[in-house]
Amino acid sequence: MTPEEVLLDESINLPAPPEPAGVYEPIVRCGNLLYLSGHIPPASDVRYVGRVGEDVDVETAQQAAEYVARQMLATVRKEIGSLNHVVRPVKVTGFVRCTPEFTDIPAVVNGFSKVLTKVFGSQGRCARSSLGIASLPGGVCVEVEAIFEVDAKTPR
């Protein structure tokens, strides 16, 4: 199945792509690579605000990461017209706002990665870094940035 067919078949709904909250572009294309700025869950959803290991449990933080993945896919689709033009995600960097004692940071970012593997199959597995940090915009618990490869025929 194509990525777009998977979205329909699995009833994966993509939220609206975010509007930039500053002086930057949410996505920049360079050759066949798409560089995506950090995406965050809505700070208006109080479930996703706080530190993992204190205010937010791992399962809720994973759900926030899943939301971010769907939002990022919406940004990609808006840029290139269809997720069927994506060859694969190349690199993901996940930032988790957490307590100093919390060490299961990769488990949170797995929420993001699971969406990619569901939509792109084995091609959805990519290089990844997971970092624990002290603060994120709006106090949210997770932010993810990524690089995607698109096929050479992808419209600009």
pLDDT along the chain (156 residues), means of 10: 97 95 95 98 96 98 98 98 98 99 98 98 97 98 99 83
pLDDT for 155 equals: 80
Give the pLDDT score at 120. Answer: 98
CATH fold for the domain made of 3-12+25-150: 60s Ribosomal Protein L30; Chain: A; (3.30.1330)
pLDDT of residue 154: 82
pLDDT of 29 reads: 97
Q: 4-34 burial, b if ≥16 CB within 10 A, otherwise e? A: eebbeeeebebeebbeeeeeeebbeeeeeeb
